[in-house]
Structures are given as structure tokens and as C-alpha cells.
Chains A and B, each alone.
Chain A
């Protein structure tokens, strides 16, 4: 039997979504504007988009770039962040570089990257890579810094080499913090993905959205926003499941039904 509290907790996000859609529906009916379709009209357009082969290819191409950009960023950023966290020399070298890059919106670099690499996949993937890297590096760095010295000493006494200590003590010990960074990185990957397609219009989910806007197909615009939003929520929820499994051993954390980064 599910307790009343558990039921409320599970129903809460559904209710929140329903409330949002209701407000949208009412506002749209009240304003009667051509550029503001009702929630129902937008939702009705979703099957049309997902049923269209070309749209689907576009969306899948977006997801592919996002996956590659995110994957490479994680593979590069975690070791770099961990090294920075455990070596003062490495931190002293990379910290100023990262501090310069940090506040720059990665999409603002796109015009330059486009000049070098064109408007294709490489440019967009690179922008996603840049967007994901910083939070992952930062959290890996903080996580590695916080690893208890005595834990490393214990490993050293067992005969672990410095590299083994990094891979087999620092990495698992910092994993909760690293995964927090990856989760932020995942949301940023989605954001930079759409932004990159907005700037370099050629293919992708962002391209569908802005083409529809140009042609005044407002139903499609809103439907795409819902699709992209849903993608974000699903990716985040899936990642959260994986994260919770991987760091079950760490302290229990505050539990929210739907969480936002």
C-alpha cells in the first residue's frame, strides 16, 4: 500500500505540469493572439512533428551531437579536474585559463568557431563540448580537493601508485561531486545544442523551431519547445537514476520528486 505522503509526493509533479498547462490554456484563450496558440493546439501538433521523417532525422541529429559533445567533455574534464584537485602545479596552470573562459557564453564563441570550422557538426559539437566541460571540470576539481588525505595515505600504505590512487581512490571518492557536475553539464549540453542550431541553422531541433518561427507556424514553435523541454526532463531523470545508483554508498541526500539543476 502506498502511504498518503508517498502518493502526494508522486502526484505533485503531475499536478504542477497540469496547472502550468491550464494557466497557458486560459491565458491563450483570453489573449486571443495568433502568435500564442493554446496549450491544446500546441500539444496536438506534437504527433505531426514526431511523425514527420525529416523532423525526426533533425531531432536525432541534434541528440547525436549532444551525446558526442557531452561524452567527450566528460571523458576529458573528469581526469583534468581530478588532476587539478590533487596537484597544485596543474591547478596553478589551468585555473587562470578556466577563469577567463568561465564567464564567456560559449555560444558567443560560435561565430569564431564557424569561421574556422564551418557550420557543420564539428562546430556545434565543439560548442556543446565547451558548455559541458566547465561545470564538470569545476566539480571534479572540488571533489578531488575534498578527498581526505588519510584515505590516500591508507591506499599508499597498501602499495597503490600515485596514478592508481587517482583512479581508484580519488575518482570513486569524488564521484558524488563529479556526477553533480555532470548533471549540470547535461542540461547545459541541451541548452548549447539548441543555441548552436539557432546560430548555425542547418539541421537539428533548434533549426525546426526557428524555421517554424520564420514561417509563422506558431503551433510548431510551441510544440517544439514542449518537445525540447520534455527531452531535458527525461534526460535529467534518467541521469538522476543512474547517479543515485552509482553513489548509493554516499550520504543520503534530500529527495525531490522532480529536480531542477
Chain B
């Protein structure tokens, strides 16, 4: 590929990102510094033509002050981070052995197993969450089966609580944990595991002293891929969560569509984004460190 073509090949997706990801983000940023009004759109313009013909720049940080003054937002933040952290940890617990098993299976079997991990993506995310509702609700398949078998007398409260939210997030984002870890393990030289055994290291210990240090980048990438969307998740807490499930995604929705306080919602978005940028930056920093000889 010539230099010109390469520039073009990079420029096209870059332009796409700029137009459809950064531009809306800039608009959100702009709204977050506006005053809320009861008009349409429900925020005051940031730049206003003054009476003297000049343009007045009137930024306001009242939306951000609102975030700080009302404990609800802070709790929603904490709630989101907690749910995301717990879900990521559970994904790691399930995903790591899964990825390990796939990487150690025979090449033909490996392709089949990877395909099975990706199979859920062939169905819409929303439909899969609804399917969980059908499974978990008090008159759902699971409860009916349990009652019919006589294991429980009354349907278990499986839905509309934090348990269901965690279950939904772990189920939905598990592939994002499995695939990067699998990719890291698949590249690993398994004679290193034999070498460890030869040097007197038991298999369980080998996993922590050899395998994990060599696939931690996959684990970190998988954790980010689960943690970040989980923290911002709206659909799962909305459909599977209970009235006390407090997550940023839901609060955002309420601010935008119920309270019509766009500046507050925009400020919340910016704040969340800033918090989520931290782990990404940390990961990149660690990656650079690891590559340094």
C-alpha cells in the first residue's frame, strides 16, 4: 500500500469517528455548561448575541454544582462502579478458566468453542435481556420449574433486584472477557508450562507464576471491556433491576426524559466519562511499561 492510500485508509474511519463520536460529545460538553430552562430545547444558549451586537459567552457550572450538591448522583456513581466492579470480577472468575480451557483444547475444537462464545451476538442484546426476564420472573420458567419440582414453595425473588442486574451484566459481557484472554493464551508458548512443571512447580502454582503473568494484558483488556460498558449500562438495570437499583445510566435517562434537565444529564455524562477514562489511561500506561525492555 502506498503512503497516500494508507493515509486515506486511516483518514476514512478517523473522519467517521470524528463526525459521529467526538462531535456529539462536544455537543454534550457544550450543553453541560449551559443553564437549564423550560424552553425547547431545554437549555439556554451558551453564546448569545448581546444588545450591543457583540457575542457574549455565558458558561455556567450550575449543572456541575447540582451534581455535587445532590447525594443522589454520588450514590448513583458509586452504585454503577460497584455493580461494574462486581460484575467484572465475576466475569474474570468465569472467563479466565473458560479462555484457558478453549486455548488448551485441540485446534478444531477450539474454533467451535470460540464460535459458541460469540453465538449470543447473533441475537439482539435487548431480546436476550427480555429472555432473561422470561426466565427469572416470578411466573417464569425457572420459578415454575422449581415450584413444580417441589424445591421451593413460593417463587424465588430472582428478578427486579441487584442479583438480576449482576446476572444480566455478567451474561451479556462475558464474551468480552473471554475473547481477549483467549487471544493472549492462544499465543502463549505451552512448553513454558512444561518447563515450570519440570522445575518442580505444581500445576496450580504454575498458573499463578507463569500463565497469569503472561496473559495479564488479555485479562486487563477483558476487564476494561466489561467494566466500562457495565458502569454505563442502562438497559439491564432498567429491565432486570429493582426500584432500589441506583445506577448512573438510569439517572441519566431520568434527567434527560423525565426531568428534562439536559445540562445536568450532560454534566453527569461528562463526569462519568472522566471517571472511566482513568482505568483506560492506567492500562495504557502499564502496557507501555510492560513493553519497555
Do A and B make up one complex?
Answer: no
